[in-house]
Amino acid sequence: MAPIANTEDRYGLVAIVLHWSMALLMIGLAALGFYMAALPDAGFDTKKITLILYHKEFGLLAFVIFALRLGWRVTQVLPKLVEHLPEWQMVAARFVHLCFYGLMFAMPMTGWLMSSAAGIPVSFFGLFTLPDFIHRNDHLFGLFIELHKWLGYALVLLLAVHMGAALRHHIVFKDDTLRRMLP
Ligand code: HEM
Ligand code: HEM
């Protein structure tokens, strides 16, 4: 069993739970996002609206987990990458991780701003409603929808690289890269 905290050689339990719950959420939200955005805006069919509501609530949950994760990340040792990695792969791995932190922040943020600009406040599982930092504005709404979409494409692209690299290390190189992120 992994220790609670990170060590130089592996991720600890807290980081592992945060990583995999976030992975599930981000992949689920991206799939749901692309699916629901492609549904027609039918007048009497509430399916699209219902899915968007779920997407927003779980999107905010992702933001909460991101805040916890960032806090944990900056107070923990960062495990070293596996040995004998060419330098460009070290740089690429750390760069993708950094981009993920950016996306975990920017995806919920642009979603929230998009909703504010549309004049539809965001509630967090009915517990409270988020403040709107910007007023209703059709131009900004269009801008944030586009941004949110392109960040979604970037997420899919980086995921392919990240998952591909993790599987390649596990299957081809048979090193500990994936095992270090497992309990
Ligand atoms: C099924 C999909 C995924 C697999 C197989 C996977 C696998 C891994 C592995 C093996 C590591 C450890 C790499 C190392 O340090 O040697 C890792 C780290 C990391 N992964 Fe993933 N991952 C997945 C999805 C995601 C998603 C969706 C995100 C985006 C939120 C993400 C963000 C990160 C970050 C940021 C790190 C670096 C550790 C940290 O600083 O928190 N991963 N991942
Ligand atoms: C990590 C969190 C999130 C991810 C990965 C994500 C991902 C996506 C993706 C991929 C789309 C489809 C974009 C398109 O094809 O136009 C989408 C749409 C959307 N997202 Fe998110 N999202 C997240 C968080 C949020 C949050 C927090 C909100 C609002 C509070 C939000 C509101 C929306 C809305 C309203 C749409 C529909 C836009 C349309 O009808 O075209 N998202 N999201």
Given a contact cutoff of 8 angstroms between Cβ atoms, the answer to whether 160 and 99 are in contact is: no
| 70 ligand 1 Cβ < 6 A | no
pLDDT value of position 59: 97
pLDDT digits (tens, 9 = 90+) for 25-38: 999 999 999 999 99
Cα 29 from Cα 141, distance rounded (Å): 20
Ligand 2 centroid distance, CA of 66 (Å) = 16
Global confidence as pTM: 0.95
Domain spans of the chain, in order of start: 13-181
Residue 99 CA: which ligand is closest? 1
Quote the ligand 2 centre to 160 CA distance (angstroms). 19
Position 41 confidence tier, pLDDT thresholds 50, 70, 90: confident
Q: How far apart are CA 13 and CA 170, in angstroms?
A: 20
More confident position, 77 or 46: 77
pLDDT tens digits, one per residue of 90-146: 999 999 999 999 999 999 999 999 999 999 989 899 899 999 989 999 999 999 999
Alpha-carbon distances, residue 123 vs 54, 126, 128, 140 (angstroms): 10, 6, 6, 20
Asked if the model's pLDDT at residue 170 lies above 80, the reply is: yes
| Residue of the CA atom closest to atom 37 of ligand 1 | 97
- 3-state helix/strand/coil string of 100-157: HHHHHHHHHHHHHHHHHHHCCCCEECCCEECCCCCCCCHHHHHHHHHHHHHHHHHHHH
> Above 80 in pLDDT, residue 44?
no
Q: Whose CA is nearest to atom 26 of ligand 1?
A: 23
4 or 46: which leads in pLDDT: 4
What pLDDT sits at residue 165?
Answer: 97
